[in-house]
Structure 1
Amino acid sequence: MNIEMIRAAAGRIKGHARRTPILTSPFLDEIAGRRVFVKAECLQHTGSFKFRGGWSAVSSLSDTAIKAGVIAFSSGNHAQGVALAARAHGAPAVIIMPSDAPTIKIENTRALGAEVILYDRETEDRDEIGARLSKERGLTLIKPFDEPLVIAGQGTTGLEIAADMNALGVTQADVVVCCGGGGLTSGIALALAADAPGLRARPVEPEAFDDVTRSLISGKIESNARLGGSLCDAIITKQPGDLTFPIMKEHCGPGIVVTEEECLRAVALAFERLKIVVEPGGAAALAAALFHPDEFTGDAVIAVATGGNVDPDVFVQALETLK
Structure 2
Amino acid sequence: MSLPVTRADREVRVRAPGKVNLSLRVGPRRRDGYHPVSTVYQAVSLYEDVVARPGEGFEVTVSGPHAERVPTDASNLALRAAHLLADRAGVVDGVHIHLHKGVPVAGGMAGGSADAAAALVACDALWDTGLAREELARLAAVLGADVPFALMGHVAVGSGRGDLLTPALTRGEYHWAFAVRDSGLSTADVYRTFDELVPDGASLDADADSTVLRAVRAGDPAALGAALHNDLQVAALELAPELAETIDVAIDAGALGAIVSGSGPTVAALARSRQHAVMIAAAFTASDVADSVVTAVGAVGGARVVPSGLLD
Above 0.5 in TM-score?
Answer: no
More helix as a share of residues? 1
In the superposition, the TM-score normalised over structure 1's length comes to: 0.28
Larger Rg: 2
Higher RCO, 1 vs 2 (CA within 8 Å, ≥6 residues apart): 2
